[in-house]
Structure 1
């Protein structure tokens, strides 16, 4: 009877594992603004943060790093973002290196708390998608892009590590099967 219960347990455990068989991708860490960091943009480049954000794909679990001097980062509501209202932030940071964990999907709104910086373009709107999924294979050389230029990785794209869930649990399966099914 003991071996029968162990066999049922092992079968149940393997079925759960098979249902979870998929791939996940590690979280990414993004430095806001890449090399310029979080600062008031130049007069000719007021869209720098919106351009930066549209070149990225944010997912739940990722994080943003704001690096700045003599400034601040405010997490705000939509209305406050569009009107550069610093009076009622959701969160306020002025430590010079702020890390925001993206813990939900949806829109996130950030503005500078320094006078007139938001009005001059120092604001960031990002859309966070669900959890990371397995990355698709890169295009093969046999099918190059039409323009002949193969894009390289973006310098702030972060480290990507793909892990197959079933491979992570192989040692656990062997241990459980050995202990439960084969124990005297």
Structure 2
């Protein structure tokens, strides 16, 4: 009976880990795939690239370019993105990897010359694209998963 209980508890622990936030494997994306981060062949290239993927918490994005001078500049708002505002957090080196650890919408553009106006800009939506409030929802999800594990273990223990 002790062996069966140990197996059951072990199974519940392993199964519940999948319920915890961030338990899924993160993906590393090379922005633009083979094209990389450069002036695209058409102004909708990066919108199309991003729309074909679902980005999750923990995913990373690598901004690569091999020719020309580029930046990966993160601007704060959709208006700044739409207007190609060139002031924001600037990543100057090719190959820089950015990882997002919360849901939200992020706006990137190239702040060199007219690259942004030519379509070198992209919106990255992590999860549902809505930034979390200050009350951490991931903690409540983790607490619910651990609570379920605890009560399931108690039920199995007393039913055996």
Q: Which residue of 2 aligns with 1:175?
A: none
Q: 1:56 to 1:19 in 2, by over 3 A?
A: closer
Is residue 20 of structure 1 aligned with residue 16 of structure 2?
A: yes
Residues in 2 aligned to 1:93 and 1:18: alpha-carbon distance in whole angstroms = 39
1:119-158 alignment runs, 5 A limit: 119-129=117-127
TM-score, scaled to structure 1: 0.57
Q: In the alignment, is residue 110 of structure 1 matched against residue 108 of structure 2?
A: yes
TM-score normalised by the chain length of structure 2:
0.65
The list of structure 1 runs, each at least 4 consecutive aligned residues, that deviate by more than 6 angstroms after superposition, is 13-16
Once the two structures are superposed, what CA deviation does each residue of 1:106-135 show, in whole Å capped at 9, x if it has no partner?
1110000111111111000011017xxxxx
Are 1:80 and 2:77 matched, yes or no?
no
2:83 and 2:37 map into 1 onto residues whose CA distance is 19
Larger radius of gyration: 1
Gaps of 5+ in 1: 1-9, 131-184
Inter-partner Cα distance in structure 1 for 2:55 and 2:62: 13
Q: Gapped runs of 5+ residues in structure 2?
A: 1-5, 129-160
Which of 49, 53, 58 is equivalent to 1:52?
Answer: 49
Aligned length: 115
